[in-house]
Chains A and B, each alone.
Chain A
Amino acid sequence: MNNYAVHGIRFIILLLLQVLILNNMLFMGFLKPYVYPLFVILLPLNINKIQALFLAFVMGLSVDFFENTGGVHAAACLVIAFVRPLVLRFSFGINYDYQTLKFYNEGFKQRFNYLAIMVFTHHLVMFALEAFSLKHSLYIVKSTLLSGLFSLFLMLLFVQLIRNRK
């Protein structure tokens, strides 16, 4: 029960943070960070996969409503929710298979890998669907890399700041 409350509050905080603050934060005129995928990234590790897909869809669609982007963020969130088990296995290795994984017990390097793969996947899908045509492929690659680095930096900061002290 406590867990539901934590994720509910995280959902609302990340959504408001994204649409009210980060969307107005254009670094060098075009670089915009997207931190809301942190909701999908920090979902419980043993969550039902279908549940995860639906939660990711709702998170993305909520951002879409504010940004007037149709279903771009919903689609990007769905993709990272779908590949999450694979990325977890890739970055945390055997600990994930044995269900003994604790996010904050792992080393910084593993956590960094996990975050980076998820962020860049999300940004690539999002910018590709936003441009909606291959003639902007340079724009897609450029925004993915630059915005991705910015988002990744902010996410690492948040992850270190909001860790559970036990």
Chain B
Amino acid sequence: MQQIFNFLVRFKTGLTFFLLFFVAIALIIEAHSYHSSKWVSSTNFISGSIYEASYNVSEYFNLKSENKKLSEENADLRNALINLQHNIDFPSDSLITQNTSFKSFPAKILANSYAKKDNYLLLNKGSKDTVAENMGVISSKGIVGVIEETSESYARIISILNSNISINAKLKKSNHFGSLVWDGKNPNLTQLIDVPRSATIQKGDTIVTGGNSLIFPANIPIGYVSNFDLNENQGYYTIQVSLFNDMTSVENVYVIQFNKQEEASLLFQNNASDE
């Protein structure tokens, strides 16, 4: 017994080190597992309000470019509206009314990162603004990420530039599906993998969201094909996708709420438990 105590006293520094190091490693592993509640997250009150205060200052420096983006988007929306009004003679047309279960509302990005392997963004809206987990986030140009965690007034977005996320996407032209992932190298370039070899691909083809997930509605733009190669052994394409959206400067975004997500995910669960 005496010897155990002697041992503990003699190596107390090393033991403290290993204990704390073990805690740190556990936190890292927790951070790498998608969909578990994170203990270390910037959605807490202190870091959230510090980022918000800093954003309130830095917001002014980007006003000009953000205004330009927003007015471009206004023009696009106005064009779409004109087309829609043109078609309004057929109010019961299912093409027009099919997507009413999705609703979007505006929000702002307080903190952004894109140079790491696993990137996250902080949103200025939280559960009190009806933001919840698994809602998609898009900007005027394309997709940004998925809400992963919310606190009362902030939410953490897992960026599409993160090794823990894959998003259902398709070729706009031929509707061939694949998963959008990121290899951690270039913040403007993501990869669309598992596209079957039967797809015909050309450089410059547009990639959009697939609509097979309950997070994003179909046909939200993502990027265009900048390069592709075929893995001969497996028969799947790996496509390099240049993002429309500049992930290094996102500020005004839209959170997409899918009203029937619960109902639909219930069906998926039932299906899984039957198997």
Which residues of chain A have a CB within 8 Å of any CB of chain B?
16, 19-20, 23, 26, 29-30, 32, 49-50, 53-54, 57, 60-61, 64-72, 74-75, 78-79, 82, 129-132, 136, 139
Contact = CB atoms under 8 A, between A and B. Distances in A.
Given A54-B16, A68-B41, A79-B21, 12 more contacts: A16-B50, A20-B50, A54-B20, A61-B24, A65-B44, A67-B113, A69-B28, A70-B29, A71-B31, A74-B23, A82-B17, A132-B32
Interface string B7-32: 00000110011001101111111111
B155 to A, nearest CB: 12
B156 interface: yes
Contacts of A57: 20, 23-24
B77 interface: no
B120 interface: yes
Q: Which of B20, B21, B115, B184 has the most CB of A within 10 A?
A: B20
Given A57-B24, A71-B24, A78-B21, A20 B54 contact: yes
A74 B24 contact: yes
A68 B31 contact: yes
B115 A30 contact: yes
Given A50-B12, A50-B16, A74 B115 contact: no
Main secondary structure of the interface of A (DSSP, over half): helix
Given A30-B115, A132-B117, A71 B27 contact: yes
A75 B13 contact: no
A78 B184 CA distance: 26
Contacts of A60: 24
A69 B13 contact: no
22 contacts: A32-B115, A57-B20, A61-B40, A67-B42, A67-B113, A68-B38, A68-B118, A69-B40, A70-B27, A70-B28, A70-B40, A71-B23, A71-B26, A71-B40, A74-B24, A75-B21, A75-B24, A75-B25, A78-B24, A130-B116, A131-B117, A132-B28
B28 A23 contact: no
Given A65-B42, A66-B42, A72 B54 contact: no
A129 B28 contact: yes
A71 to B, nearest CB: 3
B42 A26 contact: no
Interface of B: 12-13, 16-17, 20-21, 23-32, 38, 40-42, 44, 46-47, 50-51, 54, 111, 113, 115-118, 120, 156, 184
Nearest to A82: B17
Contacts of A130: 116-118
A64 B184 contact: no
A79 B44 CA distance: 27
Contacts of B115: 26, 29-30, 32
A70 B42 contact: no
B40 A68 contact: yes
Contacts of B12: 50
B16 A71 contact: no
Contacts of A67: 42, 113, 116
Contacts of A29: 115
B31 A70 contact: yes
A71 B28 contact: yes
B113 A72 contact: no
B20 A53 contact: yes
Contacts of B32: 70, 132
A69 B116 contact: yes
Nearest to A72: B28
A74 B28 CA distance: 10
Contacts of A65: 40-42, 44, 46-47
In the complex, the 9 A-B pairs of residues with the closest C-beta atoms, listed nearest first: A70-B31, A71-B27, A71-B24, A75-B24, A70-B28, A68-B120, A74-B24, A70-B27, A49-B13
